Chains A and B, each alone.
Chain A
């Protein structure tokens, strides 16, 4: 059987879901909010596509859509990881 990229993608997707479920069911409820904001940051991975969409820096619609995609994805990435770090810092604080 020869698999095209789409079929490989499906395999990767399904297996990644299983990995995700395995790990996430082990995350304690006390960390569920940081999990969500962290997952939020990870969904900013679409920045990979956004960077390439904006690579010509012209005023074609495709490039402008790319620019807006970079802005939104970066909000997710930077905001998501920073706020998660801030929250987790509160969990880690030791009592005096």
Chain B
């Protein structure tokens, strides 16, 4: 084959094939049965794109490429094999960051190779082979990529408990953030369109990335731990947009297409999370809501009267006569690593002829679908996991609801108390069931920081205990009955 045939036909066909496989791979994820095959298709698409890139280059030195693939592949494989399912939000946060950083570095490398190291005495936009479109998108790629990196690291810190989960509100932060945005983009444009001295271009480019890194930190630090599902989704979207911007720099449409797919995916998940919390994206990003974690918190039972509490024995007695049980998991289930115990508990109930299902609120946990993955890990069949719209009408016919580590997503104030901060948020209507067993370590409020009247309802029994111990206790009692 002649080299021109390869360049004009083989390479574009490979890239097109790759783009098609990315779309089909995503389509595979629309059903559980085809999801694994879809993921394999996306992986194949990636392989084809990488091969196409190497074919397109023609001649290249192997050292850096092999070294990079070995180191990156090793770290990635190790992380993928070792991560606990409860640690998925942290891992996804870090991966968002590395994706963003990689795109920013590719754009930076492009600027260094084609402008700074050439030192043609021209501005970047006037340099042959660069042009204004690539210059503008290179700035965008470095900007989005760098802020995705630092924002993701902060999100990781909050999720892993290395940074306080409470919002850190700096005075005048909106003004600071706006200045950082305008500063980074303005300086970037100024640099690539007017500066001709290579040394200055290099320095200014570094400043642009520095400002973007600071911006990423500033954007995520005021957001509370419980709002992390929104933040992770948004950063996911950014990592895709950074890749798409890099695609514009390199004029490679396979990057543009797959970057757009990731960008769209992140945006839709962000939207779903916001709807599930009845809040606008602006409110999540700028509101400084989400003051504390629902997992812990201080003892605060002053506001509660008529709370009925019991131990595992009483709970088991309630469960003994039940015919249908709905388990409602929340972030506390992940914190307590209780998914396997819950599954054992459910199996024991099923052995006794009880119909067991799970009611999953969209924002239960720290990332979209967090509960589903934990329960899948414990071998809970996915058919038993019911979405909010499906499970809500069922509560009227349910004997017992067991709430494990969830709070705000089962708060009746969302429907019954106009003026409550969470009024209007869609919640699981567990109070419609005959009995509710609420497993919680104390009466402390959830992330919304408000009282949950469900604790005072006549059909509610509080079980004050760590989620895993409580479920284990009920299981032991059930077996002895």
A interface with B by C-beta (< 8 Å): 4-6, 8-9, 12-14, 16-17, 19-21, 23-58, 60-63, 65-93, 95
Contact = CB atoms under 8 A, between A and B. Distances in A.
A41 B236 contact: no
A31 to B, nearest CB: 6
Contacts of A31: 29, 32, 35, 369, 372
A36 B72 contact: no
Nearest to B133: A6
A56 B83 CA distance: 35
B113 A62 contact: yes
Interface string B18-54: 0000110111011111011011101100100110111
Interface stretch (B99-107, B176-184, B408-416): B99-107
Given A50-B68, A91-B32, 5 more contacts: A43-B100, A46-B246, A48-B254, A61-B202, A62-B110
Interface string B235-272: 01001101110111111111111111111111011001
B79 A42 contact: no
A92 B383 CA distance: 11
Contacts of A37: 88, 91-92, 95
Contacts of B232: 36
8 contacts: A20-B263, A27-B30, A30-B360, A40-B239, A44-B99, A45-B259, A48-B50, A51-B60
Given A43-B99, A48-B50, A34 B35 contact: yes
Interface in B375-410: 376-377, 379, 381-382, 385, 387
Contacts of A45: 22, 46, 49, 243, 254-255, 258-259
Contacts of A91: 32, 35, 376, 382
Contacts of A72: 72, 98-99, 101-102, 105
B30 A71 contact: no
Contacts of B112: 60-62, 65
A92 B265 contact: no
B242 A78 contact: no
Contacts of A30: 32, 360, 369, 372, 376, 382, 385
Contacts, number: 380
A9 B242 CA distance: 14
A40 B236 contact: yes
A66 B114 CA distance: 13
Interface centre among B103, B110, B249, B254 (most CB of A within 10 A): B103
B208 to A, nearest CB: 14
Contacts of B27: 23
B39 A85 contact: yes
B236 A67 contact: no
| Most chain B beta-carbon contacts within 10 A, residue among A65, A70, A72, A89 | A72
Instruction: Tell which of B43, B108, B259 has the most Cβ of chain A within 10 Å.
Output: B43
Q: Lowest 5 CB-CB distances: which A-B pairs, in order?
A: A74-B72, A70-B68, A20-B264, A79-B76, A32-B369
B299 interface: no
B252 A16 contact: no
B460 interface: no
A78 to B, nearest CB: 3
Given A29-B372, A83-B91, A43 B243 contact: yes
Given A21-B264, A60-B117, A85-B40, A9 B247 contact: yes
Interface in B107-121: 108-110, 112-113, 116-117
Contact of B269 (A5, A32, A68, A79): A32
B370 interface: yes
B206 to A, nearest CB: 11
A46 B261 CA distance: 13
B1 to A, nearest CB: 21
B310 interface: no
A78 B76 contact: yes
B219 interface: no
A62 B376 contact: no
B36 A89 contact: yes
Given A30-B32, A42-B261, A42-B262, A60 B268 contact: no
B362 interface: yes
Nearest to A19: B23
Contacts of B376: 30, 87, 90-91, 93
A73 to B, nearest CB: 4
Contact of A20 (B110, B239, B260, B379): B260
Nearest to A75: B76
B67 interface: yes
Identify which of A40, A56, A87 gathers the most chain B CB atoms within 10 Å of its CB. Answer: A40
Contacts of B481: none
A55 B240 CA distance: 24
A16 B1 CA distance: 32
Contacts of A51: 50, 53-54, 57, 60, 65
